[in-house]
Amino acid sequence: MTAPADPRPDAPRPDAARSTGSTGPGAPAPRGPHAAERAGAKAPHHGDRWRRWRAPVAGRANALHAGAWWVWALGLATAASRTSNPLLLALVVAVAGYVVAARRTEAPWARSYGAFLRLGGFVLVVRLVFAVVLGSPVPGTHVLVTLPEVPLPGWAQGVRIGGRVTAEGVVFALRDGMKLAALLVCVGAANALANPARLLKSLPGALYEAGVAVVVAMTFAPHLVADVARLRAARRLRGRPDRGVRALLQVGLPVLEGALERSVALAAAMDTRGYGRTAQVPAGVRRATSALTLGGLLGICAGTYALLSASGAGYGLPVLLAGLAAAVAGLRLGGRRSVRTRYRPDRWGPRAWLVAGSGVAVAALMIAAASYAPDALDPPAYPLTAPTLPLWPALSLLLGLLPAFVAPAPPATRPEPGAATAAEAGVEGATR
pLDDT at 218: 62
C-alpha 92, offset from chain centre = 14
Helix (H) / strand (E) element for 394: namely: helix 391-397
Distance CA 308, CA 316 (A): 9
**What is the pLDDT, as a whole number, of residue 386?**
82
So what's the pLDDT on residue 232?
A: 82
DSSP string, 254-289: HHHHHHHHHHHHHHHHHHHTTTT-B----HHHHHHH
Question: How crowded is residue 205: how many other Cβ atoms within 10 Å of its Cβ?
Answer: 18
SS3 40: coil
The pLDDT of residue 229: 81
Q: What is the pLDDT of residue 163?
A: 79
**CA-closest candidate to residue 11, choices 28, 27, 30, 32:** 27
Number of H helices, E strands in the chain: 17, 2
DSSP structure string for 279-341: ----HHHHHHHHHHHHHHHHHHHHHHHHHHSSS-HHHHHHHHHHHHHHHHHHHHHHGGGB---
How many other CB atoms are there within 10 angstroms of residue 289's CB atom? 21
Is residue 73 a contact partner of residue 182, using CB atoms and an 8 Å limit? no
Calculate the dihedral angle through the C-alpha atoms of 101, 104, 110, 113, rounding to the nearest 10 degrees.
-20
Contacts of 115 (CB under 8 A, 6+ apart): 188
Alpha-carbon separation of residue 113 from 86, 188, 222, 273, 423 (angstroms): 21, 5, 19, 36, 33
CA max distance for the chain: 129
Say which amino acid occupies 158: G
- C-alpha 394 chain-centroid distance: 21
| Single-letter amino acid code for the residue at 165 | V
Q: Do 55 and 409 touch, CB atoms closer than 8 A?
A: yes
Cβ atoms < 10 Å from Cβ of 306: 19
Quickly count: other Cβ atoms within 10 Å of residue 86's Cβ: 18
Count the alpha carbons within 13 Å of 224 in the hemisphere toward its beta carbon. 12
pLDDT by position in tens, the chain (length 432): 444 444 444 444 444 444 444 444 444 544 544 444 444 444 445 555 555 556 667 666 677 888 899 999 999 999 998 898 999 999 999 999 999 998 888 877 787 888 899 999 999 999 999 888 887 777 777 788 888 877 777 776 767 787 788 888 888 889 999 999 999 999 999 988 887 777 777 777 667 667 677 767 666 666 777 778 888 888 888 888 777 777 777 777 888 888 778 777 877 777 776 666 666 767 777 788 888 888 888 988 888 888 777 666 677 778 888 988 888 888 777 766 666 666 667 778 888 899 999 999 999 999 888 888 888 888 887 777 888 888 899 999 999 999 999 888 887 644 434 444 433 334 333 334
CB neighbourhood size of 199 (10 A): 19
Classify strands 161-166 and 143-150 as parallel, antiparallel or unpaired. Answer: antiparallel
Residues 289 and 392: their CA atoms lie apart, in Å, by 43
